[in-house]
Chains A and B, each alone.
Chain A
Amino acid sequence: MTSLLATPARLYVNGVALWAPRLPGWERARRILAGHEPPPLESAARPAPELLPPTERRRAPDTVSVALEAALSACRSAQLEPASLPCVFSSMHGDLAITDYMCATMASTPALVSPTRFHNSVHNAAAGYWTIAADCTRPYTALSAGDQSFGAGLLEASVQALAGGENILLVAYDIDARGPLAPVARSKHLLACALILSPVRGAHALAGFDLRLTTRSSADSGPAPSLARPANAELVAGNSTESCLPFMEALALGGRHDILCMATPTLGLELKLENL
């Protein structure tokens, strides 16, 4: 193993949000993940992102809907102005429903492709809609890193927070695969989480963590990051952003936790997290 940072970096979680059909919003998700409340039997309906104009809420692609819901909730939990935050959006697949539409249309009637669906097909669509809705001219990025997309986003948000000494909004999300792509892309239901990270402790900070970065060979990559409460896994199982769950569970449980989060198949973020 090689350590990539000379000394661990200290960061604070100044805001948080989580949305999945059986974890609808952070306050309930926190109780469910901690075992204080049973998960709902019924899946919650897709959220309608408040920041979008009413006419656009229903038409918004699923990725935009869940990502914007999480982004706004995290800003509220930190009591920070959305327009003030540079942001990192991370998703393994982007909007799989639009990918299915685009590819089916290319195979049948390419000349009839919808211009709106085309410009919504870019991987940065959710980030674009967020900055438009929030009137945010700060930079954003949109990343993908396979099954490690949450970890890659967490790393880039941490890097930007350390480089700029300011709050960075991380939003990680994936949705269910549709059509002939579904057996290959294999992502299920909706999931979005958001964190606001900074080297400076915010007034509403939930937790602080020391971050180490280590590389491993694929041989010694060790066990997969594990959950304190294994039953939580099924709440988001199969979604391509499910690797956010150990981090979210640690915030929900309170106390201290060691978390391993992979940013590539062999690059790990080792976090010593302490809830405040």
Chain B
Amino acid sequence: MQPLHIKAFTATCAAGAGRAELQRALDASRTGLRRNDFGRDPLATFVGRVAGVESAPLPAELSIYECRNNRLAWMGLQRDGFLEAVAAARARYGADRVALVLGTSTSSIGATEEAYTRLTPAGEFPDDLRYQAVHTPHSTGEFLQRALALNNVAVTVATACSSSAKAFAQGARLLDLGIADAVVVGGVDSLCGSVLFGFNSLQLVSPEPCRPFDAARNGINIGEAAAFALLVRADDAQRSSDPHLVGYGESSDAHHMSTPHPSGRGARIAMTDALARAGVEARDVDYLNLHGTASQKNDEIEAQVVAEMFPATLHASSTKGWTGHTLGAAGALEAVITFLSLESGLMPGNLNSRQLDGTCGPQVRLENARGAVRHAMSNSFGFGGSNCVLLFAAATRQ
């Protein structure tokens, strides 16, 4: 594929609001996880909760979209000059030529959950929660299209934990076919009862800070995040120092709704396809941001596939020890972490983990390291066996 430029990017998550805070937390190995204090009767676990969402209302003209997910999206847009970058793209190409592809799994479901706790005596939603705008999976996509005043494609991808990685692939195709000249891609997911108690019912939630790839790991921590990137075709970019999207790979496990394929066949297809589309060899990948949820199965299978496919020179890690598993936002959040890695040379380790699982090859690292990062990959694997792998490069490959 033709490389695409990342003209602007930002992320807000438990480990930091905006690139600078996130970079400092990564550098200092400072986790954003905290004891769960979300909801009325909090589960005994740790969460990646973003501070201040409750006290950051939406602008009045967008108030029909009021809910935690859309507030988090709005907070995320304010950082790193992202709103200004979108405004510049709108001015340059026109609102008709700027698309939006949003990945989310929770979307605004927290608002629907709240409505069920506050039903009127007649069993109806309370007046302040009767807007369909916050009771549909496209809520955050529609909110962002209006908030950013975009008039091209505007769609929500909801493939569980691969959602916002797939948004990059879908956006890339819109640019490739010339349907859009710029695409805002992103992921926004927020804490809510469904995901906390739902993952708990599957016995996947850890009562401790999560420890990806640790031999004694015992489950995931749920997190929340808003992360965005602005993609344009390479010929339209003015700065060659922007990171680029050079490949993507998508596949299905075709195995089970909530358990990965035992031999990792879908993960392998997606990683192989991303490398092939980019024309990059496995040995040329310097950093791999793993899906690494800290669940027993995911980490075991992902580590095996990585050990088979990559040489020992690869530095691979999961950053969920900093952020928690941000589900539908994880693909975009971890893409931003790979951009920071391409820019700064910092390759994060596996925070909180102490003793790597025996299935890990030499690629999976406990400690942060520094080096020249020219190619960085990010894995996202979701329920329903949906896999998406993104491959980024530091500068234009001629």
Residue positions of A touching B, CB distance < 8 A: 2, 4-6, 92-94, 99, 102-107, 110-111, 113-115, 118-125, 127-129, 131-132, 134-146, 149, 152, 155-156, 159-160, 162-163, 180-181, 183-186, 213, 215, 217, 263-264, 266-267
Say whether A106 contacts B132, CB under 8 Å: no
Assess whether A103 is in contact with B116, with CB atoms less than 8 Å apart. yes
- Assess whether A125 is in contact with B158, with CB atoms less than 8 Å apart: no
CA distance A110 to B197 in the complex (A): 6
Question: A155 to chain B: which residues have CB within 8 Å?
Answer: 153
Q: Provide 16 A-B residue pairs closer than 8 Å at the C-beta atoms, listed in order of the A residue.
A: A4-B179, A106-B117, A107-B116, A122-B105, A122-B158, A124-B383, A124-B386, A128-B384, A135-B254, A138-B251, A143-B158, A145-B154, A146-B142, A163-B173, A184-B115, A185-B135
Q: Which residues of B contact A2 (CB under 8 A)?
A: 94, 96-97
Stretch at the interface among B4-12, B118-126, B329-337, B341-349: B118-126
Q: Is B145 interfacial (CB 8 A cutoff)?
A: yes
Given contacts A106-B113, A136-B252, contact A142 B157 (CB under 8 A): yes
| Size bracket of the B interface | 35 or more
Q: Measuring CB to CB, which residues of chain B are less than 8 angstroms from any residue of chain A?
A: 41, 43, 94, 96-97, 105, 109, 112-113, 115-117, 119, 123-125, 130-132, 135-138, 141-142, 145, 151-160, 166, 170, 173-174, 176-180, 193-194, 197-203, 250-258, 265-266, 269, 382-386, 388
Q: Report Cα–Cα, A136/B387, bound state, in Å.
A: 13
Q: Using Cβ atoms and an 8 Å threshold, which residues of chain A touch B193?
A: 106, 110
Chain A residue, CB-CB nearest to B194: A102
Would you call B137 and A137 a contact (CB within 8 A)? no
Closest to B162 in A: A124
- Of A2, A131, A160, A184, which is in contact with the most chain B CB atoms at under 10 Å from its CB? A184
Q: A121-B198, A145-B156, A264-B145 in contact; A136/B132 too (CB < 8 A)?
A: no
- Contact A92–B257 (Cβ < 8 Å): no
In Å, the complex CA distance between A135 and B131 comes to 40
A134 to B141 alpha-carbon distance, docked (Å): 31
CB distance from A47 to the nearest CB of B (A): 20
Q: Are B179 and A159 in contact, CB atoms less than 8 angstroms apart?
A: yes
